[in-house]
Structure 1
Amino acid sequence: MRIGIAALILAYVLSQFYRAFLAVLAPVLTQDLGVTAAELASASGWWFLTFAAMQLPIGAWLDRVGPRLTSGLLLAVGAGGAVLFAEATDAGQIKLAMALIGVGCAPVLMASYFIFARQFASAAFGTLAALTLGIGTLGNVAASLPLSWAVTAFGWRETVLGLAAITGAVALAILALVRDPERLEGARHGSLLELLRMPALWPVLIMMMVCYAPIAGLRGLWIGPYLADVHGADALEIGRISLWMGLAMVAGNFAYGPLDRWFRSRKRLVILGNAAMLVCLFGLWWFAAAPPIVAAGLLVAAGFFGASFPIVLAHGRAFVPAHLTGRGVTLLNLFGIAPIGIAQIVTGRLHAATEPVTPAAPYEAVFLFFALTTAAGLAVYLWSQDRRG
């Protein structure tokens, strides 16, 4: 089972890579294909939207079929999407490729969480979830300076084609190595409606909508155009600052895991972490045109404090009955991922519609959008019921 979980975590490394690599590829895609920042935001949004749309069927498949076939077969679809990306000649093909990659990446984290929920103690779920997310976020790191080096050395098409081959190999490894948990004896049937009728779950679902969207949106796309347009950064400088933010996200995930055990209140930990991220987002809005070191520091701090996703998910998981484990974790993931896709599309249009009275003005609008939505979600979450499982 351990080697199978390792294969799933490797697949999640790829998932984190694909959701973030457009930030580094943005300048070369604009130069070679003529795509705009708004079109790239839309492509990033389609990754998250297809990823999110797959969560509900994946939840049922995890409960009924198991994580091996669910994750292995869909990841193979993602490999095909990466091949299409490598051969793309316009924005439409980039968007379709990102949608297919989103489908392929959709089950891998939830497959791991399904195994954790079924085969480990409930109290350990938050720590295991954060550890998995922390390791997986190394893919986010790889989609920064290392990606810049690879693109410079080999070209962006060759680099993405190599990634497609790696993705296909990992899909085969999952099919060969993952072992499904034993089926529950005498488990009763249930549905999503059973979960949606639980009032205690809704404040957590609202928090899921805003806890990850800002850092996913910034690291996944906006950090690249922002640093280029406002601070004149080149591809290597963008890759370097993206690397710092990615490492901060890794550190944040590893920090939230032990803190989940140390804090007596999971709710309090989530509130404190997201309040700190909110300060960083308002700082980016207010100081968008400040020297690059200020922007880099705020982006890195936001990446660290904004890594509460697995703890919020663990909070929601504590309300989910065992026979709905697959549907429960994927429902929570749906609420965590779908808003990112919507936010990327909305911020792309907001960026395009904002009068560029200064180079920073369109990005100030993006930062303010993320800050206000986070504040609204945090206000609702204050009314949530604390539970550790």
Structure 2
Amino acid sequence: MRRVVLGFALLVVAYFVVYAHRVSMGFVGDFLGRELGVGDIDLFRGLASSAYFYAYAAAQVPTGVLLDTLGISIYGTAGLALTALGGFALAYAPDVSTVIIGRALVGFGSAAVFVGIQRFIALYLPRSLSATAVAVALIAGGLGSIFAQYPLVALSQALGVRAALALLALLIAVPALLTPLLVRDRPGIRGFRARFAKIVRGIPRIARDRHTAGVFISMFVSYGTIMLLQALVLRDHLMDLAGLGIAEASALTTLFAIGMMVGQPIVSYLSDRVLLARKPFLLATHVFMALYAPYLVTAPPSVAAAAIALFAMGLGAAGQMIAIPMAREPWPREVAATAFGFVNISPFLGAAIMQSAAPYIFRGAGSWRWNYPLVATSIAILNIVAAAAVATLTRETMGRGGRR
């Protein structure tokens, strides 16, 4: 049991760092873009952010298959090493092309972390702790987001953006070295081809499943919305409509992540131990996200009001995490990483599309960076569609009947 706790803790620490990487360009991309002499900073931030997500989305299925066949100890270590390599390439990038390559390497490699966590949960933890374990990992991700939104900005201002990004690369190198020592998930090379072929043959069944389609749509919309807000829009909304500076707006935006962090263990406890259900929480999340979209068309009357609104928005988005066990639980644990990896394409595809399209679709006029009414309307419509998909396509996975 001690080794299980240590192994899970190590993967959670790794997720803290890769999540900081994930959202970093939304907050320190300005500094890096100016250092590289980029003319359109908003376009640079969007492209640099989306490069991570396109690579992360592309990595999901191969990562899931390789984790299920080689194990976390082997492939998880390789993914972390690739993430560190991409992090150093980003930190010392001489031009925009190298930034994009570095971000893509970080995205592809870091896919092994969260998909690996899902395999670890399926192999070593009971279902009654499934959502709770996911919540612990997501809280670590939320802390990583907060680190990127304020401490990383402060480090970039004090030491320079390249030193700050090099620190992130160093931090991910530590779990890369420790994973083979603490995580014993090693199916081994022997029998690799047979296991690989069996898992690959099962992918079409996962892809055709009606439940998979519903969770896929839900995760595409919910996570795409969260990352659009967290990485691009919320900070700029405070700067444009409340007149805050970049450091103050970045610090205040952390309340969105804090709201999610507070809400996730509450949702997981209620799902695992009280209601013994998943689906109602996911449905409610999309309703909340559609309802709070109008916040983006208003100017906060005060900093305190903005703080309360941002915390409430994060709290309302917390139920999105229930889609994670819902994606994995219907399938045998031997293919947990593959099943989750297939569905987990959707949130990062959603994040990549929304962030790369944002400078073209949502670009503002005058002093506004974004067209906030159009952003709000789009978020509301997308979440109404996602709520309908959850209601009509997904099934309850908490009980025994959820597993196929």
Q: Same fold (TM over 0.5)?
A: yes
Match of 1:170 in 2: 175
Moved more, 151-160 or 361-370: 361-370
**2:263 matches 1:258:** no
Matches within 5 A, 1:130-279: 130-180=135-185, 189=199, 190-261=201-272, 262-279=274-291
Tell me, in whole angstroms, the C-alpha distance in 2 between the residues paired with 1:12 and 1:71.
Answer: 12
- C-alpha deviation, 1:57, in angstroms: 0.4
Q: Letter of the aligned partner of 1:281 in structure 2?
A: A
**Structure 1 counterpart SS, 2:371:** helix
Moved more, 44-53 or 193-202: 193-202
Tell me, in whole angstroms, the C-alpha distance in 2 between the residues paired with 1:148 and 1:357.
Answer: 26
Q: Percent identity?
A: 24
- C-alpha deviation, 1:237, in angstroms: 0.3
RMSD: 2.4
Tell me, in whole angstroms, the C-alpha distance in 2 between the residues paired with 1:16 and 1:241.
Answer: 18
1:280 corresponds to which of 292, 310, 313 = 292
Contact 1:287 1:295 in 2 (8 A): no
Contact 1:145 1:242 in 2 (8 A): no
Match of 1:59 in 2: 64
- C-alpha deviation, 1:88, in angstroms: 2.4
Match of 1:44 in 2: 49
TM-score, normalised to structure 2, is 0.87
Match of 1:333 in 2: 344
Q: Letter of the aligned partner of 2:224 in structure 1?
A: A
**2:380 matches 1:371:** yes
- C-alpha deviation, 1:123, in angstroms: 3.2
- C-alpha deviation, 1:254, in angstroms: 2.0
Tell me, in whole angstroms, the C-alpha distance in 2 between the residues paired with 1:214 and 1:288.
Answer: 20
**2:41 matches 1:27:** no
Tell me, in whole angstroms, the C-alpha distance in 2 between the residues paired with 1:116 and 1:152.
Answer: 39
Match of 1:387 in 2: 397
Change (3 A) 1:42 1:371: farther
**Structure 2 counterpart SS, 1:137:** helix
**Structure 1 counterpart SS, 2:27:** helix
Moved more, 21-30 or 93-102: 21-30
- C-alpha deviation, 1:221, in angstroms: 2.7
Tell me, in whole angstroms, the C-alpha distance in 1 between the residues paired with 2:186 and 2:259.
Answer: 33
2:371 corresponds to which of 362, 368, 372 = 362
**Structure 1 counterpart SS, 2:318:** coil
Change (3 A) 1:230 1:360: farther
- Cα-to-partner distance string for 1:287-327 (whole Å, 9 max, x where unaligned): 25765555444333222221233311212222223342121
- C-alpha deviation, 1:358, in angstroms: 6.0
Contact 1:79 1:165 in 2 (8 A): yes
Match of 1:123 in 2: 128
Tell me, in whole angstroms, the C-alpha distance in 2 between the residues paired with 1:239 and 1:192.
Answer: 41
Q: Letter of the aligned partner of 1:32 in structure 2?
A: E
Contact 1:148 1:235 in 2 (8 A): no
Change (3 A) 1:181 1:388: farther
Change (3 A) 1:288 1:320: farther
Contact 1:126 1:314 in 2 (8 A): yes
In structure 1, the gaps of 5 or more residues are none
- Cα-to-partner distance string for 1:90-120 (whole Å, 9 max, x where unaligned): 4333222211111121110111110111222
